[in-house]
Amino acid sequence: MTTDEAIARTMQQLGRDAVAAQRVLSNSSGEQRNQALRAAAAALRLRQAGILAANERDMSAAAAAGLGRAALDRLQLDPARIEAMARGVEDIAALPDPIGTVLADGHARTDCGSSACACRSASSASSTKAGRT
């Protein structure tokens, strides 16, 4: 199997997994979704050593493939960056549940597909830019 075929197969599986996850999320409560987000944050912290080890392998492969310094810096993980990721996930869990809210275009948010998560994140960014928290 070529690298392109492997990437295509991985992307197809990620798409199938996302559809399956959307089905589960659409039937979950806001508290269940927030518990899942808090569990993801905890898993980042708990699995930090393994994440850092995998990142080192990825960094070595990326450097060997000629990836530039700026890109390598963006990909490099350290304990502080992993903690920032975990806090970011917890921050999303602390936001108001977007399900049932009315969007700027007048449509009501009725499901929790990937767009709902983006809506939460965008809502937070808009509030932050406007000086609201």
Give the CA distances from residue 62 to residues 5, 68, 89, 128, in Å, rounded to whole numbers and listed in that order: 19, 9, 27, 35
How far apart CA 66 and CA 91 sit, in angstroms, is: 35
Each residue's pLDDT tens digit, 12-30: 999 999 999 888 888 899 9
Same domain (yes/no): 84, 45:
yes
Contacting residues for 76 by C-beta, under 8 A, at least 6 apart: 55, 59
pLDDT in tens, 49-106: 999 999 999 999 999 999 999 999 999 999 999 999 999 999 999 999 887 777 777 7
Host domain of residue 104? 97-133
Q: Do 84 and 107 share a domain, yes or no?
A: no
Same domain as 87, residue 124 = no
Residue 132 confidence (pLDDT): 43
pLDDT of residue 65: 95
User: Does residue 83 share a domain with residue 29?
Assistant: yes
Rounded to an integer, the average pLDDT of 97-126 is 59
121 pLDDT band (50/70/90 cuts)?
Answer: very low
In terms of domains, do 73 and 130 share one? no
Biggest alpha carbon–alpha carbon distance for the chain:
51
Looking at the structure, do residues 30 and 66 belong to the same domain, yes or no? yes
Same domain, 43 and 76: yes
Sign of CA dihedral 132, 45, 40, 72: positive
Domain count, the chain: 2
Q: For residue 108, what are the β-bridge partners?
A: 102
